[in-house]
Structure 1
Amino acid sequence: MKWEKILIRYGELSTKGKNRKSFITHLKNNIKFSFIDLPNIKMTAERDRMFLTSTDDLEIQELIKSLPKIFGIQSFSPVAACTQQLEDIERTAIKIIESLDHQDKTFRVTVKRTDKRYPLDTYELQRTIANHVLRQFPSLIVQMKKPEIDLRIEVLSDAVYMMAEVIPGAGGMPLGSNGRSLLMLSGGIDSPVAGYMLLKRGVRLDAIHFHSPPFTSERSKEKVMDLANQLSHFGATVRLHVIPFTEIQQSIQSQIPENVSMTTTRRMMMKIADLVREEIGALGIVTGESLGQVASQTLESLTAINAVTTTPVFRPLISFDKLEIIDIAQKIGTYETSILPYEDCCTIFTSSCPKTKPKLEKVEYYESFKDFDELIKEAVEKRETYSFPTKKKNEFESLL
């Protein structure tokens, strides 16, 4: 089936008021960025919908394949075009139904006659096309409310546009419409899912990872780079900041009692993340913590960790159980990478009996015997930064 264009429906964007234009502009820029390698695509934005057109059928197919990953799109439909000749409309209707899974499906025809000069009125055209389709596909079942196949026909003065398939989009808000935050990306299952959920709300992400060679390998760093690259497939650049963390971890092990060493480790990570966040102009820090999942994620532990910063810390998975998180990881394609058996810095010095209810005043007392500030500053200065995906520069990159 040759499609003429793609109709995009905004969904949540349609509820916006005077700032709607700003959200639509973000969506347009994100689509341009995602499809920069498709030169023939043209875009027309209206109040409640957007059209993408291309003269290249392969480009249309690539749009159909990749648009479900673009946040801010509720759904979209491939659109076919034909002349106003009734025979042409009937022929196109048959081709569209043939392209779908139509066996024993419920069906209706919906007509919008923008060109009032068209000789058939709305109901006449509706009945004529429905009868023609039902003769060709007798297994279809007519159902006027919420059918599985809704063949939509819009009659304009210069052409007739037709569609039937409604493909779900990613939903959410366009990337960039809600600022930037810094994701603490460990390499496990949870943190990429947390990043995905913030991306879905329109938040652009940088990511930060703590690397402790020789205790953590290059393969573990490559794994995190792969995860950052996978997150970038949802429509925007993701910068990854890799922090050299070995010296800090060794200092923690030598200075801090073993049962609260994980709490101090997380506090040092949060301090470093806050410095990087300030430097890059991000407004929040994102973690993959889920309440009670491990010792460092109890309310008491999170309170002690949060005490080192006044920056908003977003924990989108806080009430999720592990199976729910795994389901999302599998859906977004990060699960198989996350379960690769490479160590991270949070597992190499794990205490056998960590405190689940650490006292903040005691943790601060133990930390007072070591000046971590210089080590933290040095780690931030020596970080490595990577950018994903590795695309050629383009005129829209400054907008992202």
Structure 2
Amino acid sequence: MNYVFIVRYGEIFIKGKNKRLFENRLIGNIKKALHRKEIPYKMKTMRGRIFVEGESLEILDILQNTPGIVSVSAGKKCNTDIEEIGKTALELFSLLDKKPESFKVETKRVDKSYPMTSIDISKRVAEFVLKNGIGIAVDVHNPKLKIGIELRKEGAYVFCITKKGIGGLPVGVSGKVVTMLSGGIDSPVASFLMQKRGCEIFPVYFHGFPFTSDMVKEKIIKLTEKLTRFQPEITLSIVNFTPVLKELKKKSPDKLIIILMRRFMVRVAEKLTEKYNCKAIVTGDNLGQVASQTLDNLQCITDASNNLILRPLLGFDKQEIISIARRIDTYNISIEPYEDCCSLFVPKFPEIYGKLNEVREAEQPFDIDDLVNKSIELTEVLKIGGKNG
């Protein structure tokens, strides 16, 4: 069956004179996602809608996971004859997992020259469907299935499956950001939320072998692959953080080791923002969740970088974060039992209310520039996604 997928977007409509820029970015992102999966398609745009034609229902999943799309419907195109519209509606019932108990027909008459009103069209199509023996009732108030019709000059678009999209903005319209990606639950969710707000993400992972297992590295790659559902191509930087960790283990006061570690991480991330022309650093910090994420300690960590540091999860509770992680399919990977270096280096009695002057003083024994530059030099860069990726 040759399907038509009707793409709708919301926030893009309020962008005024810049609207076309956002539409073009969304269209480009859809094309990249379909090209990656080698799915044949045709595409056209008309008055606030994007229409994608193709034979694969996988297109529906790709579109509903493309940031910037509010909803997408799967259906078929036919001529504007009432009987043809009714026959097309019956064909689409084969897409349903189970027979619904009731239905309703809703018509949007974009072509106002059509000789029937939207209500009349809906009534006539419903009558046709009922007469052809599907054995379910009409319920205009609380239907279990809605048959949608968009009537346009070039034909009628009929659909009975509509999926909610991610919404937000197309990836790329808000610039680029470096996201600090650990193996936990929070940082992949923070990365996704920035994608949803139109940012192209450049994840960085701080690898500390032999302090951390190489299995964590594989875990990070799998998490990044999940994030390519929303951004088809991602550049992942895997930083060899072992030289920094060795120095921290020798020279850092025990209670400050996590704060100093995070300060080194944001310095390395700052170097990567320069490399990739990014505008900010993104972390998965969640206020008060762990000792390093108190306001005092976040202030100490922020002090280490001149860059804007964004923390999209700051006000979320853990269940909200887990709910998003399940939605984007990163949760089961995140809970795999391989810990990152932050988890392994947590002291018995960490500093909760770090003082900036003490933290700066604790850094005096370190050759900061040399350690940061070594980390950058030893960084492995992986391209995740792309065609067949």
1:108 maps to 2:88:
no
**Aligned in 2, Cα 1:110/1:389: closer, same or farther, shift over 3 Å?**
same
**Aligned in 2, Cα 1:121/1:372: closer, same or farther, shift over 3 Å?**
closer
Question: What pairs with 1:163-174 in structure 2 (closer than 5 Å)?
Answer: 163-174=159-170
Q: Residue 285 of structure 1 aligns to a residue in which SS?
A: strand
Distance 1:94 1:306 in 2: 59
* CA RMSD after TM alignment: 2.2
Structure-2-length-normalised TM-score: 0.92
Question: Which deviates more from structure 2 when the two are superposed, residues 40-49 or residues 338-347?
Answer: 40-49
Question: What pairs with 1:72-221 in structure 2 (closer than 5 Å)?
Answer: 72-97=68-93, 99-100=95-96, 101=98, 103-110=100-107, 112=109, 114=111, 116=113, 122-135=118-131, 136-137=133-134, 139-143=136-140, 148-156=144-152, 159-221=155-217
Instruction: Determine the structure 1 residue equivalent to 2:32.
Output: 33
Distance 1:372 1:85 in 2: 74
Distance 1:391 1:111 in 2: 37
Distance 2:114 2:158 in 1: 19
Distance 2:6 2:294 in 1: 46
Distance 2:94 2:227 in 1: 36
Question: Which deviates more from structure 2 when the two are superposed, residues 87-96 or residues 249-258?
Answer: 87-96
Q: 1:333 aligns with which of 315, 329, 333?
A: 329
The alpha carbon displacement at 1:160 in A equals 3.1
Q: Residue 14 of structure 1 aligns to a residue in which SS?
A: helix
Instruction: Determine the structure 1 residue equivalent to 2:42.
Output: 42
Question: What pairs with 1:266-285 in structure 2 (closer than 5 Å)?
Answer: 266-285=262-281
Distance 1:31 1:308 in 2: 38
Distance 1:236 1:91 in 2: 37
Distance 2:108 2:320 in 1: 41
Distance 1:214 1:160 in 2: 62
The alpha carbon displacement at 1:140 in A equals 2.7
Distance 1:154 1:225 in 2: 42
Aligned identity (percent) is 33
The alpha carbon displacement at 1:47 in A equals 3.8
Structure-1-length-normalised TM-score: 0.90
| C-alpha contact 1:31 1:235 (8 A) present in aligned 2 | no
The alpha carbon displacement at 1:392 in A equals 5.9
Distance 1:77 1:179 in 2: 29
Question: What pairs with 1:65-76 in structure 2 (closer than 5 Å)?
Answer: 65-76=61-72
Distance 1:113 1:244 in 2: 58
Instruction: Determine the structure 1 residue equivalent to 2:18.
Output: 19
Q: Which amino acid aligns with 1:260?
A: L
The alpha carbon displacement at 1:375 in A equals 1.2
- 5+ long unaligned stretches in structure 1: 394-400
Q: 1:302 aligns with which of 261, 286, 298?
A: 298
**Aligned in 2, Cα 1:157/1:375: closer, same or farther, shift over 3 Å?**
closer
**Aligned in 2, Cα 1:11/1:389: closer, same or farther, shift over 3 Å?**
same
Deviations 1:161-184 (A, max 9, x none): 322332111111100010000010
Q: 1:264 aligns with which of 244, 260, 264?
A: 260
Corresponding residue pairs, total: 386
The alpha carbon displacement at 1:217 in A equals 1.7
The alpha carbon displacement at 1:185 in A equals 0.6
Q: Which amino acid aligns with 2:45?
A: A
Instruction: Determine the structure 2 residue equivalent to 1:5.
Output: 4
Q: Residue 16 of structure 1 aligns to a residue in which SS?
A: helix
Deviations 1:106-133 (A, max 9, x none): 5234252727365x56554333222222
Q: Residue 344 of structure 2 aligns to a residue in which SS?
A: coil
Q: 2:286 aligns with which of 251, 266, 290?
A: 290
| C-alpha contact 2:75 2:92 (8 A) present in aligned 1 | no
Instruction: Determine the structure 1 residue equivalent to 2:367.
Output: 371
**Aligned in 2, Cα 1:71/1:369: closer, same or farther, shift over 3 Å?**
same
Distance 1:155 1:272 in 2: 55
Question: Which deviates more from structure 2 when the two are superposed, residues 32-41 or residues 214-223?
Answer: 32-41
